[in-house]
Amino acid sequence: MALSLTGLLLYLPAICLPLLTMGILGSQSEASIIGSTLQLIRQQQLLVGTVVLCTAILFPLYLLTSLSLVSLGLLTRRRPPWLATLFRHYNQLGEWAMSDIYLVAVFITVIKMNHSATIDFNLGFYCFSGLVLVIIAARSAVDRTLFWALLDPARPGPEEPESANREQPRKHTVCHSCHQTLWLPQGQPPPLKCPRCRALLHRRKKNSLSRTWALLVTAMLLSLPANLLPIMEVASFGVPERSTIMDGIVYFFQDGSYGIGIIILTASILVPLFKIIGMIIILLSIHCRWQRGLRHKAAMFRFIEFIGRWSMLDIFVIALLCGLVQFGFLSTIKTAPATLYFTGVVLSTMLAAITFDPRLLWDASSNINQR
């Protein structure tokens, strides 16, 4: 609770105060997180602006608020029914709060513009850095098993009756949200609600394979314009110049910033490609019932879930540059068509990992039809 309250105190100055001040030929421009997000919306990038607004501003606020309320309820031993639901949403939205990725984007922006302009750090940058550290510390301090036990100490879950056939594991199910093991009576049609977190229960996610395939195909179709079309437009003295994702990577390598170039290459090109290929391999192994390397595929899926959010790095860099480089006729940076397609790729691959049920990998290998 102490960490979450500290984060709430840092939140408003971190979001509203300017992060950076950029100076070119005596002119200055400032950029804050909320200002950069609004700049995307002014440039008619409604979807991209909404995604940045949610991932960089709203979801971190929700995480801090929900964690402080849940911690306060547990400390005061007041556990209203909505407290478990709030903690369930906290766990579900954790990977969508990307303030840490936004901080990395700030450093990349500074390195990118340091050679062509004067960059100064403002108070908002230090508040935002502290906010990111506090959020990471708060999430690391949460013991989910302990929290769920305290939220429902009197109901560890329905016990299996003695008359039940213990050789039928399909009578048991695990809640996707709080991971409580529950016994479902024979003939009881899903979905049921978890008695602890009130989430819908299902032995397997409904239409998991078809929805995952649809999202992967969408990501593959969007990948072509995302990488071939320009993603950013830089206008200097009224002359516009557009660049693709690969152009930005080549710029950093030619400038000698090999580390930043490798980071953007990995986050913007290699990670989306790895996610798409990895998920296709997993889905094909289910359809073809391949029984070799299941542990490696399960580990690969967990890695895909972990790295999926880092593809938003390029979008955050563009959002910062659009808010920071606004000098009128002298120099202006705007978004280009590929920004929308690349955001679609990131969302599609992340949603594909969420809709996929990894238990189907083991069901297919055992010839068990539990979809």
Under 8 Å CB-to-CB from 319, ≥6 apart: which residues? 36, 37, 39, 40, 48, 52, 105
CA 117 to chain centre: 32
Enter the tokens of residue 285: 């192994």
What's the whole-model pTM score? 0.85
Out of 160-174, 194-208, 330-344, pick the least confident: 160-174
Looking from the CA of 45 toward its CB, the CA atoms found within 13 Å total 28
Give the bridge partners for 192, in sequence order.
201
Count of other CB atoms within 10 angstroms of residue 288: 9
Average pLDDT of the chain to the nearest whole number: 84
Q: What percent of the chain has pLDDT over 90?
A: 34
DSSP string, 308-327: GGGGGHHHHHHHHHHHH-B-
At 12, is the pLDDT very low, low, confident or very high (cuts 50, 70, 90)? very high
Q: How confident is the model at residue 257 (pLDDT cuts 50, 70, 90)?
A: confident
Task: Decide if pLDDT at 370 tops 80.
Answer: no
Beta bridge partners of 30: 21
Can you tell me the distance from the alpha carbon of 122 to that of 186, in angstroms, rounded to the nearest whole number? 62
Q: What is the pLDDT of residues 164-188, one digit of tens each?
A: 444 444 567 778 788 887 776 665 5
* Residue range 295-313, pLDDT digits in tens: 888 899 999 888 888 889 8
pLDDT attached to residue 96? 92
Q: Say which residue the tokens 């979450």 belong to.
A: 4
What's the first-to-final CA gap in the chain, in angstroms?
40
Residue 234 Cα to chain centre, angstroms:
28
Q: Between 3 and 172, whose confidence is greater?
A: 3
Token pair recorded at residue 124: 């908002």
- CB within 8 A of 240, min separation 6: which ones? 233, 234
Reply yes or no on whether the pLDDT at 283 is more than 70: yes
130 token code pair: 């502290």
Per-residue confidence at 345, pLDDT binned at 50, 70, 90?
very high
* Count of CB atoms situated within 10 Å of the CB of 28: 12
pLDDT for res 154: 53
* Helix (H), strand (E) at residue 331: strand 331-335
More confident: 122 or 333: 122
pLDDT band at 190 (very low <50, low <70, confident <90, very high): low
- Contact between 33 and 297 under an 8 Å Cβ cutoff? The reply is no
pLDDT for 160: 46
7 confidence band (pLDDT: 50, 70, 90): very high
Rounded average pLDDT over 230-244: 79
User: Residue 216 pLDDT more than 80?
Assistant: yes
Task: Tell me which residue has tokens 């230090």.
Answer: 126
Say how far apart CA 336 and CA 362 lie, in whole Å: 43
